[in-house]
Chain A
Amino acid sequence: MNEQVQKSFRDFHDTIRIKDLDREEESNKILREKRDILLKDIKSYFDKKNEDLDPVDHLKYECFNQGSYAMYTGVKPLDDGDFDIDVAVVLNINKENYTNPTTVKNWIFEALDTKVNRKVLWKKPCITVQYTKAGEEKYHVDFAIYAGENEDEKYYLARGKETSVSTEKRWDESSPKELKEKINDKFEDSEERKQFKRIIKYLKRWKEEKFKGENSGTGKPTGIALTALAYSHFNPHVKDVFTNEIEIDDLDALLYTVTQIHNSSIWSEIEVYLPVSPYNNLFSEMTPKQMEKFKEKLTILKTKLEEAQANIDPHEATKLINKVLGSDFIIIEKEAISERSSRPAITSSGESA
């Protein structure tokens, strides 16, 4: 392990990660306030709606963050892309009482579509609020709406647009909370957990770099598919096995994960399952040809990381990593390579014979 290379990984991570809105960071203030205004609008909408209803029929709901943002696996988009904040809205309704889920989605649409300058859109899995104001970070907030009081005690996601054909208007089984917990609780040790999240982010950034400008359908895996792959193949590299001391090595961990994925059976079976219900195949849309393309790129990633690991010169090593993770991964300049610090000439030892 080279400390300087690890520092480059740390800096890289600081550059690409999406910071948590709910932590007191000045840079997030605007975003946080915007989201909170949206949540307030939803609240006033239901408060008003409930005024006309019998108290037993009052609509209640719960909001929480979901998706990569909630799992702390979000990565800043490249160039002009925007990034999303996913919010789950779980209503105290039984899906059986609302055969058309767009009726329920429409409540949220109505709740948010109240201002002229706010762009609220219908999307199949959610209602989206898009912010594009110049000078601000571009991002959107996706509201996924769930029926939360069903006979089988599962959550169901409201799908479809008002204009969709009837087969697309449906309730889909979903476990937004379990997924979040599963990813967040996979490692008890905080260093191991943090490294797990970093590796997911490195893979997601690599994907954006290597499939730049390409849509899904070109072999570009989704973020959740990479998350699921990391979930089954990552192994922590946060300790020196010999001294048992903390020694965080993201390069080893990333290479290990990539190698495990490379050696796994996903290439022949084209299957990666969501680790929670409904356990759907996240590669169901991939064709063998697309998988081949994905594997090709992953092989290059593996080779470059191997070369970087074998190279003891931090300049050369970071140059190799930069080639696969992109320009946000800073190459250590030759001049910046630290000389071995001079050690004391006389030290004590407990050795005897």
Chain B
Amino acid sequence: MKIREIVECLNSIESISSVGKIDTSIKPNRGVSSLFKFEMVFKDKKESFYIGFKDNFPLGKPIIFLETYNQFGFIPHIDPDGYVCYAHDEGLVLDFKNPKGIIEDSIKLATSTLMDGITGKNTDDFFNEFDNYLRANKHTLNKLLSFVEISEDVKKICAYEFNNHVLLCENKRKLKRYNLQGLLNYNNEKLKESNPFLFAHIDLPIEPHDFEKKWYRNEFIDIIESSLPTAKKVELNKLMLTLRTTNILLHFQAPNSSDCLVGFNIKKIGLEKSLEAVAIDVYYISRIDSNYVNLRGGGFKNINNKKVLLIGCGSVGGFVAHKLVKSGVVNITLVDDDKFSLDNINRHVLGIKSIGKIKVEALKSFIENSAIITNVSAVKSKVEKAIENRIIKVNEYDLIISATGNPTVNLWLNDTLIDNSNTPLIITWVEPYGIGGHSILINNQNKNGCYRCLMDENTNHNNAAFYASNQSFIKSLTSCSSVFTPYGVLDAEQSAIGCVKLALSYLLEKETDNPIISWKGDKVAFINNGYLLSKRHNLSDEKLYEVRYSYKNRRCETCAKL
């Protein structure tokens, strides 16, 4: 929008006056390309405000500033440069056809944010925004990276210096489980250990400090006095004395339940108050611990200790591995005896650089770089051989996933696990020409229902199939040596999604029975190639979900004989 038009808009708004364009250098840090000062009656008094516009206005909201951040006292949602955070861009719809309306509404929202602050209505926000205030305080030090696992106990946290950072973690072994190479370009250099920190969880949130105010030692002691139970106080004090450290890491929950972490150097050992005012160091903490990162990414808590065996690293298996680590599953063993070839490239998560490599090894290195923490083992072998030779011990896993797409191996796994193990198994596969795919969970707490139940007793036709029986779908582009079943990357990924969702619902203990989860795709290509659909393909998605347990065969050779 042209500046002339913005000026017109501003001049036509009745509630504001004395609009004047001024130099953007007054408020330099928000990327505004035009800035105006205006006056407006606020709390019965004429006050000055600034409004700035970025180039993309009205596709982006206007930015409103106060002269100084404490023009109306130290209140929430005001940054040191006077920026009024009245709304987040994420989740806003702007009616760009009505720029004047956008300006008016933004002024209204900004003033109501100020009013809420002045009247104390949004005091909780103050505490909720602790992290931001901490970072914006001009005395805060900003070099600590935390890999610390949040817990209730008072504990020692080691500090390692690396490349101008200090890495905080319970111990070196734990730290090295993280992908430090990817995160910090760390290549096994020696880590210099510095003075440790002491971690403590306190019960009450800490009130943020004004942007310009220093922290003092007695303020810290007050926090400890009021929010740390005596037993833990004693423990903390004792640890301070033994470890000769004044570094403390405090954890608390803000009123909105978000986790806050703050570091202090309280300069003097012990928790007694000082007679004189002692300024202390305060550290902003960048959190990289897996639970934090996981939750930020929509992942899940408490699955980083689960062990998953993934059999088959083809199209579906590749996506399954990738989505597992992205969801927070750390411990994965990959089994496959194949090499990655050019034929696979367009329906596999791996890229050109992996061609000719052993699939398990290439996939291992790919997924290790997909998350901050992974523990991947690669076994190049056929699964039946690896199990027979006890290279793989099925009982060591929380869950086994078979993405081999080989019904013979799947039936063998099904029968073997049901007979000999309590480890649940998910079998996942795709069907030709994008008509669908399935994932079945078996050997869960409930023992009836298995992959063999799906097989027709007289024909071994899979009753879950969206294709009618007695058809073959194998295609060959060149010769017998390179046959394949026609399906695409989206089909593989769709089955992988179903499979990982099922895996998570098992690992998070939401599913105790043995469902089959099917997805149904478009039938046009399938039919155009002259194939016949099963009646099951006529079922709606809702119905398919509803009947997810209805496949169980009461006379199953495998699961009914138990």
Contact = CB atoms under 8 A, between A and B. Distances in A.
Given A350-B472, A352-B430, A353-B315, 7 more contacts: A242-B551, A243-B463, A244-B534, A340-B457, A347-B460, A353-B312, A353-B403
Contacts of A244: 534-536, 538-539
A312 B554 CA distance: 7
A243 B560 CA distance: 20
B492 interface: yes
Given A243-B534, A341-B458, A349 B407 contact: yes
Contact of A344 (B405, B430, B431, B460): B460
A242 B538 CA distance: 11
B467 interface: yes
A353 B461 contact: no
B137 interface: no
Contacts of A269: none
A136 interface: no
Interface in A335-353: 340-341, 343-344, 347-353
Given A241-B550, A312-B555, A353 B462 contact: no
Interface in A134-178: none
A344 B459 contact: yes
Q: Label chain A's interface by main secondary structure.
A: loop
B536 A353 contact: no
Interface of A: 241-245, 312, 340-341, 343-344, 347-353
B405 A352 contact: yes
Contacts of A241: 547, 550
Contact of B471 (A343, A350, A353): A350
Contacts of B539: 244
B542 to A, nearest CB: 13
Contacts of A353: 312, 314-317, 403-406, 428-430, 492, 495
B348 to A, nearest CB: 11
Interface residues of B, number: 48
A147 B241 CA distance: 110
B457 A242 contact: no
28 contacts: A241-B550, A242-B536, A243-B534, A243-B536, A244-B539, A312-B554, A312-B560, A343-B456, A343-B458, A344-B459, A347-B459, A348-B471, A349-B462, A350-B467, A350-B473, A350-B485, A351-B407, A351-B430, A351-B431, A352-B405, A352-B429, A352-B430, A352-B432, A352-B485, A353-B312, A353-B314, A353-B315, A353-B404
Contacts of B457: 340, 343
B68 to A, nearest CB: 63
Contacts of A349: 407, 460, 462
Nearest to A310: B554
Nearest to B405: A353
Nearest to B319: A353
Interface in B442-496: 456-465, 467, 470-474, 484-485, 487, 492, 495
A267 B432 CA distance: 55
B463 A351 contact: no
B248 to A, nearest CB: 52
A245 B535 CA distance: 6
Nearest to B465: A350
Nearest to B464: A242
A150 to B, nearest CB: 49
A3 to B, nearest CB: 11
Contacts of A245: 534-536
Q: Label chain B's interface by main secondary structure.
A: loop
A353 to B, nearest CB: 3
B553 to A, nearest CB: 10
Interface string B339-359: 000000000000000000000
Contact of B405 (A243, A312, A351): A351
A226 to B, nearest CB: 30
A344 to B, nearest CB: 7
Contacts of B410: 351
Contacts of B403: 353
Interface string B534-561: 1110110000000100110011000010
A341 B458 CA distance: 6
A340 B459 CA distance: 11
Query: Considering the complex of A and B, which 3 residue pairs feature the smallest CB-CB distances, nearest first?
Result: A353-B405, A352-B485, A353-B316
B461 A347 contact: yes
A17 to B, nearest CB: 29
Contact of A351 (B429, B470, B471, B535): B429
A351 B465 CA distance: 9
A245 B463 CA distance: 10
A312 B555 CA distance: 7
Q: Which of A312, A348, A349 has the most CB of B within 10 A?
A: A349
Interface in B302-357: 312, 314-317
B487 to A, nearest CB: 6
A294 to B, nearest CB: 32
Contacts of A352: 405, 429-432, 484-485, 487
Nearest to B435: A350
A171 B317 CA distance: 78
A271 B238 CA distance: 81
Contacts of A348: 470-472, 474
A203 B17 CA distance: 88
Contacts of B535: 243-245
A241 B547 CA distance: 7
A74 B456 CA distance: 38
Nearest to B531: A350
A343 B473 CA distance: 21
B40 to A, nearest CB: 64
A348 B531 CA distance: 14
A242 B459 contact: no
Nearest to B312: A353
Nearest to B474: A348
Contacts of A344: 459-460
B453 to A, nearest CB: 10
Interface string B372-406: 00000000000000000000000000000001111
Contacts of A343: 456-460
Q: Which of B495, B534, B536 has the most CB of A within 10 A?
A: B536
Nearest to A2: B555
Nearest to B313: A353
Nearest to B470: A348
B27 to A, nearest CB: 57
